[in-house]
Structure 1
Amino acid sequence: MRTGIATVCLSGTLKEKMQACAIAGFDGIEIFEQDLVTSPLSPESVRTMAADLGLGLDLYQPFRDFDGVTPDLLKANLRRAEAKFKLMSRLGMDTILVCSNVATATIDDDAVRAEQLAQLANLAGDHGIKVAYEALAWGKYVNDYEHAYRLVEMVDHPNLGTCLDSFHILSRDWDTAPIEGINPEKIFFVQVADAPKLSMDVLSWSRHYRVFPGEGQFELAKFMGHVVRAGYTGPVSLEVFNDVFRQSDVERTAVDAMRSLIWLEEQSAKWLADNAGNGADGAAAGGAGLRRRYPMELATLPKVNEPAGFNFAEVKADNTAQLEKLLGQLGFGFEGRHRTKDVQLWTMGQARVIINEQAASHAEPSIAALGFDVDSPVIASARAQQLKAPVVARKVQADEEVFQGISAPDSTEIFLCQGSPDGTAAWTHEFGEGLEHARSAQNAVIDHVNLAQPWQHFDEAVLFYTSALALEPQPFAEVPSPSGLVRSQVMETADGAVRLVLNLAPVQQANGPKTYQEHIAFAVDDLVATARAARDRGLDFLQIPANYYEDLDARFDLAPDFLATLRELNLLYDRDGDGEFLHFYTATVGSVFFEMVERRGGYSGYGAPNAPVRHAVQYDSLHR
């Protein structure tokens, strides 16, 4: 599959954008007109630079408001078009995007539109240019890709074809199956963009909230499957208007964009395999054989299963005394120090926490790394690297476990570990014998980890964990806090063995206290017993207001003794049709706190109604 991206997706100058696209590995680019108009580079210089970088110049865009106009305006539009065709010749480009008219059209007549498009195609042919006509979702008279293609057929000119844009099609819920009936020689270009499902006018939705494939909720694999079945062989190019992307680091955004196309290519191949024999051609061959029948070849990645569970969580800190005290109060046991590294291991049942003091000078405690149990760390790492994940290497001795590591968008290090059926970890033997301590009778596992995401990398993180770690994104929620709404995105495995919560915190106020916090949650069998034991060890619980328990009683009509226990131990409670959820929080150390939870029955949530309470109490403690 030939990959492309529109320069409008990225921040920076045209030169910076082109360099970033080459670094990310794109085959070609679309030049957005404004990027060229504002560039000091001459068209000839852009052409030379693209050749030097190994980038094709695949599309010039956009040419707006051409069709359905009065004769006088048509004459001006043809003059404007010829100027652009001459410019494209200097650039060495041969395809231009013409959008359906949204502003100046006054004649709603397909015959008129076809006649005017025919004049444009004739003029384009004189200059060796192909015109890709696209139906904008908010077009005044043409807003449906099938309508746009009918016009192309009416004109029947070799220099006029259509552009299929996933956003304009999927935002209007148009059926994508008819794409297979389009003559592939008349599909001049394909653009893809994802988006969250939002209730708003389609123009605003398009201009501000598009995202890269895998970061939204559109059925892009199905869209691409129909495009492939149609016989299209040209570029598949990203056209994403997004306020965040156009403010973010250009090279990083380009890499994220390339990752999204790699993921889309794999997902499209999977859709074709899963839907073999259901296409317009009625083919019934097997998945691999079916893919080879189409002119466009779709690459796939090494197959991996979703993680089986958390292997460990790692917190980095300069001064570890508070962390050690906190873990001890929760009931964790100190297993010792690593024999060659300045790190500690603390465990409770199968929950393992590493405290890392290496290269942590003056560092406040923060979550630094997560380990996941996978079937094959080497294969999982190879897949992640093909998805442009940066490799994280750690020095090891000859007789030590070698972890396959990659870096997440927020710089959290992700280690892919060899899982074991009994939940143990082979690497723990590298730690010396721990101090004598009273073992907790409680078993525990890491239930979920909550990571704060920088605003400019939130969507990137969703795609990263979806594509590289096979986690499934759940519908996002917005949680109120005293400093603003916190967007929360759950990523998890089908069985809930791995739950990762990504939080987009409100923008930090200048000179204010840090409001972003992250936490590790541990699941135990008996939370009340765990809380009582922790209290006896002197644990500083997050103090829950009395008003919360009055509201809890009104909502759930709990037994008085049970409600009194919750109040006494600062426990929070939630219930749904599947079960119950009890949890409590510790005070925060640096940017880290811990949560202990108990899941009863089939409860699979996170106590979402209690999140505003937690945010408010933590906010108050920061501002005292």
Structure 2
Amino acid sequence: MRTSIATVSLSGALTEKLTAAARAGFDGVEVFENDLLASPLAPEEIRARCADLGLSIDLYQPMRDIEGVPEAEFARNLRRAAHKFQVMRRLGADTVLVCSSVSPLAVDDDALAASQLRRLAELADDFGIRVAYEALAWGRHVSTYDHAWRIVEAAGHPALGTCLDSFHILARGSDPKGIADIPGEKIFFLQLADAPLMAMDVLQWSRHYRCFPGQGGFDIAGLVGQVLRTGYRGPLSLEVFNDVFRQAEAGPTAVDALRSLLVLQESVGLTEPPPPVVPTGIAFAELVTPDAEPVSEILEALGFARTARHRSKPVDLWQQGEARVLLNTGPGARRDGTQLAAVGLESPDPAGAARRAESLLAPVLPRRRAPRDVPLDAVAAPDGTELFFCATDRPGLPSWTGDFESAEGTQRPAPGAGGVRRVDHLALTQPWHQFDEAALFHRSVLGLGAQESVDVADPYGLLRSRAVTDADGTVRIALGVGPAPSADEGGRAQHIAFATDDLVTAARRFRAAGGRLLPIPANYYDDLAARYEFEEGEWETLRELGILYDYDREAGAAFRHCYTETVGRVFFELVQRDPGYRGYGAQNAPVRLAAQRARAL
């Protein structure tokens, strides 16, 4: 189906919004009246600009407070409408959105509303324009889609139909099954927006917290399925009011918006993109650094060994068990310190994973390859992290390890008691305006499942986190956004968590090898003693080593974890996870964040 987006969903001037929508791949736009009023271009020039960009103008909106008012007021409304219809003809738009009235002058009289909407439709028809009547969730007398349809049906004019808006329907808890009663040809337009489930005034909810389909808690696919069964064949259009989107760069937001519609069309059976290929593990995490020594010291203290070096690039492979870290000191290393730049994802079908990613608008990354280098497919995540689809030492598939030559006299250390066995999870900090985009990306492109968002108190604000995982927890990525420790919005550290079967032994060995664990305040352990009962000596050991503790009573499973100090923008975590524990110790995050802040001062 054709795709469209309301200009109010994007930031910038109208011309910037149009360009962003076209470059993302949208077929059309809804022109929001405020965008037109603020533009220096005449309607004819905007029409020409859209034509040059390959965009249709699918809707002009909104026209407010028209129906159900005293006759003198309605006469003024018709005069206003006639002027707007003239503008629409210059603009090349043939459908106008009319919202249900919120005017204090409006009366609760469906017959009057139908009569006045019919007269409006007669006037619109003279201009070759259709009127799409929409029920606002906070409309004074008409606030549900079925009520709006009854009025449209009573008016009985071919130029009058209804506009269905997923937010207005689902925010009120209306059952979309009633859409089946509306003939498809009388649904003139379909606007889509998701939203997080919140208990708040619906107007404020709508104006500030809408998001793209798949980023919130509404069943958008179920609603769209109901609409399609009526025979509706108009565009799928996004109308999203969101404070973050209106401040973010229009281009990436438009791409994210179209991705949401591509995923939605797949979910309702309209398209069949390449199927998701769910990763089965973390092949490697790549750190870029201008100075490898501080990171190397930490890795050595953790029990890692430098086992190989890339044959053509300044990249070292450090290993322990199934955990692999690449240290890259090449030209891409930034002066502001060590950072997590790339992740290798084990994939049962690397080529298929790349095809899926490209079909959902993930930017494919060009690679500089020497003649003997293994071909690897890579795409960029919304935060810029490079994601490589890998096969590690599997028969019949090229392995990325083939680019590395073993370091003389070294071999991968087998983890003994307290050794690192694998990567437990990665924590990736997102730019403040791309948190929802990142969650949708990792779910749709990688096929991971998303857990509920968690809000964590930070000493200087609030940290929001959402984990995405595969079904059995082999791949875990925690996406976070929150206040940065400096004016640089990307300043917050990221981290790699390593799994061990004996955290106490691992922590003692790390310290004995010269490693420094993050100090945790004694007050935390006083509270821990009040909340949990420990075996003799266990509480004292946790306090001594700076190990944090969490327990899931429902699963009967514990989680123990501790942290290294930060190097550049990266730190490491050691975790011991009991079977059945699926979290990340979120209740300990405020203590960890405060301790890290204290060390940074």
Q: TM-score normalised by the shorter chain: which range applies? A: over 0.9
Q: What is the identity, as a one-letter code, of the residue corresponding to 1:41? A: L
Aligned equivalents of 2:365, 2:533: Cα separation in 1: 51
Aligned equivalents of 2:208, 2:372: Cα separation in 1: 52
1:36-435 equivalences under 5 Å are 36-269=36-269, 298-359=270-331, 360=333, 362-418=335-391, 426-434=399-407
How far residue 426 of structure 1 moved from its aligned partner, in angstroms, is 3.2
Structure 2 equivalent of residue 278 of structure 1: none
Measured at CA, do residues 522 and 244 of structure 1 come closer, stay the same or move farther in structure 2, by a change above 3 Å? same
Are the aligned partners of 1:31 and 1:60 in contact in 2 as well (CA < 8 Å)? yes
**1:275-314 C-alpha deviation (Å, 9 max, x unpaired):** xxxxxxxxxxxxxxxxxxxxxxx22210123211111111
Aligned equivalents of 1:502, 1:119: Cα separation in 2: 53
Structure 2 equivalent of residue 276 of structure 1: none
**1:465-495 C-alpha deviation (Å, 9 max, x unpaired):** 1111111221101111111110111111121
**1:51-107 C-alpha deviation (Å, 9 max, x unpaired):** 111110110000001111111111111111111111111111110000000123431
Structure 2 equivalent of residue 518 of structure 1: 494
Are the aligned partners of 1:131 and 1:161 in contact in 2 as well (CA < 8 Å)? yes
1:458-477 equivalences under 5 Å are 458-477=435-454
Measured at CA, do residues 57 and 620 of structure 1 come closer, stay the same or move farther in structure 2, by a change above 3 Å? same
SS in 2 for 1:131: strand
Aligned equivalents of 2:559, 2:427: Cα separation in 1: 17
Root mean square deviation, CA, Å: 1.8
Q: What is the identity, as a one-letter code, of the residue corresponding to 2:124? A: A
Are the aligned partners of 1:332 and 1:439 in contact in 2 as well (CA < 8 Å)? no
Q: Which of 581, 584, 590 lines up with 1:603 in the alignment? A: 581
Aligned equivalents of 1:488, 1:373: Cα separation in 2: 24
Does structure 1 residue 531 correspond to structure 2 residue 507?
A: yes
How far residue 431 of structure 1 moved from its aligned partner, in angstroms, is 2.2
Aligned equivalents of 2:139, 2:334: Cα separation in 1: 58
Structure 2 equivalent of residue 293 of structure 1: none
How far residue 222 of structure 1 moved from its aligned partner, in angstroms, is 0.7
Aligned equivalents of 1:29, 1:553: Cα separation in 2: 59
SS in 1 for 2:142: coil
How far residue 418 of structure 1 moved from its aligned partner, in angstroms, is 2.4
SS in 1 for 2:463: strand
How far residue 510 of structure 1 moved from its aligned partner, in angstroms, is 4.2
How far residue 529 of structure 1 moved from its aligned partner, in angstroms, is 1.6
Are the aligned partners of 2:374 and 2:398 in contact in 1 as well (CA < 8 Å)? no
Measured at CA, do residues 95 and 591 of structure 1 come closer, stay the same or move farther in structure 2, by a change above 3 Å? same
Aligned equivalents of 2:490, 2:136: Cα separation in 1: 44
Could you list the runs of 5+ residues in structure 1 that have no partner in the other structure? 270-297
Aligned equivalents of 1:429, 1:416: Cα separation in 2: 15
How far residue 514 of structure 1 moved from its aligned partner, in angstroms, is 8.0
Q: What is the identity, as a one-letter code, of the residue corresponding to 1:257? A: A
**1:113-143 C-alpha deviation (Å, 9 max, x unpaired):** 1111111111111111100000001101101
Structure 1 equivalent of residue 550 of structure 2: 574
SS in 2 for 1:218: coil
Are the aligned partners of 1:308 and 1:419 in contact in 2 as well (CA < 8 Å)? no
Aligned equivalents of 1:43, 1:315: Cα separation in 2: 51
Q: What is the identity, as a one-letter code, of the residue corresponding to 2:364? A: V
Aligned equivalents of 1:139, 1:493: Cα separation in 2: 43
Q: What is the identity, as a one-letter code, of the residue corresponding to 2:597? A: Y
Structure 1 equivalent of residue 430 of structure 2: 453
My pick for the range that moved more, 378-387 or 325-334, is 378-387
Figure out how many residues of one structure are paired with residues of the other and give that number: 593
Are the aligned partners of 2:357 and 2:445 in contact in 1 as well (CA < 8 Å)? yes
Q: What is the identity, as a one-letter code, of the residue corresponding to 1:394? A: R
TM-score by length of 2: 0.96
Measured at CA, do residues 431 and 509 of structure 1 come closer, stay the same or move farther in structure 2, by a change above 3 Å? closer
Are the aligned partners of 2:393 and 2:401 in contact in 1 as well (CA < 8 Å)? no
Q: What is the identity, as a one-letter code, of the residue corresponding to 1:405? A: A
Work out the percentage of aligned pairs sharing the same amino acid.
Answer: 50
Are the aligned partners of 1:479 and 1:486 in contact in 2 as well (CA < 8 Å)? yes
Does structure 1 residue 557 correspond to structure 2 residue 533?
A: yes
Are the aligned partners of 1:301 and 1:383 in contact in 2 as well (CA < 8 Å)? yes
Q: Which of 573, 578, 593 lines up with 2:571 in the alignment? A: 593
Aligned equivalents of 1:34, 1:431: Cα separation in 2: 57
Are the aligned partners of 1:474 and 1:491 in contact in 2 as well (CA < 8 Å)? yes
Q: What is the identity, as a one-letter code, of the residue corresponding to 2:497? A: A
TM-score by length of 1: 0.92
Are the aligned partners of 1:527 and 1:596 in contact in 2 as well (CA < 8 Å)? yes
Aligned equivalents of 1:362, 1:116: Cα separation in 2: 66
SS in 2 for 1:392: coil
Measured at CA, do residues 510 and 340 of structure 1 come closer, stay the same or move farther in structure 2, by a change above 3 Å? closer
Does structure 1 residue 495 correspond to structure 2 residue 472?
A: yes
My pick for the range that moved more, 22-31 or 354-363, is 354-363
My pick for the range that moved more, 432-441 or 237-246, is 432-441
SS in 2 for 1:469: coil
SS in 2 for 1:520: strand
My pick for the range that moved more, 186-195 or 361-370, is 361-370
Structure 2 equivalent of residue 294 of structure 1: none
Are the aligned partners of 2:484 and 2:491 in contact in 1 as well (CA < 8 Å)? no
Measured at CA, do residues 240 and 560 of structure 1 come closer, stay the same or move farther in structure 2, by a change above 3 Å? same
Measured at CA, do residues 361 and 36 of structure 1 come closer, stay the same or move farther in structure 2, by a change above 3 Å? closer
Aligned equivalents of 1:23, 1:514: Cα separation in 2: 26
Aligned equivalents of 1:504, 1:256: Cα separation in 2: 17
Aligned equivalents of 2:267, 2:137: Cα separation in 1: 25
Measured at CA, do residues 350 and 242 of structure 1 come closer, stay the same or move farther in structure 2, by a change above 3 Å? same
How far residue 525 of structure 1 moved from its aligned partner, in angstroms, is 1.4
SS in 2 for 1:315: strand
Q: What is the identity, as a one-letter code, of the residue corresponding to 2:598? A: D
How far residue 545 of structure 1 moved from its aligned partner, in angstroms, is 1.4
How far residue 147 of structure 1 moved from its aligned partner, in angstroms, is 0.6
How far residue 440 of structure 1 moved from its aligned partner, in angstroms, is 4.2
**1:533-575 C-alpha deviation (Å, 9 max, x unpaired):** 1121111000111111111111002123111221222211111
Are the aligned partners of 2:415 and 2:421 in contact in 1 as well (CA < 8 Å)? no
How far residue 45 of structure 1 moved from its aligned partner, in angstroms, is 0.8
SS in 2 for 1:601: coil
Aligned equivalents of 2:393, 2:136: Cα separation in 1: 53
Aligned equivalents of 2:140, 2:393: Cα separation in 1: 60
Q: What is the identity, as a one-letter code, of the residue corresponding to 2:71? A: P
Does structure 1 residue 14 correspond to structure 2 residue 31?
A: no
Are the aligned partners of 2:420 and 2:498 in contact in 1 as well (CA < 8 Å)? no
How far residue 515 of structure 1 moved from its aligned partner, in angstroms, is 5.5
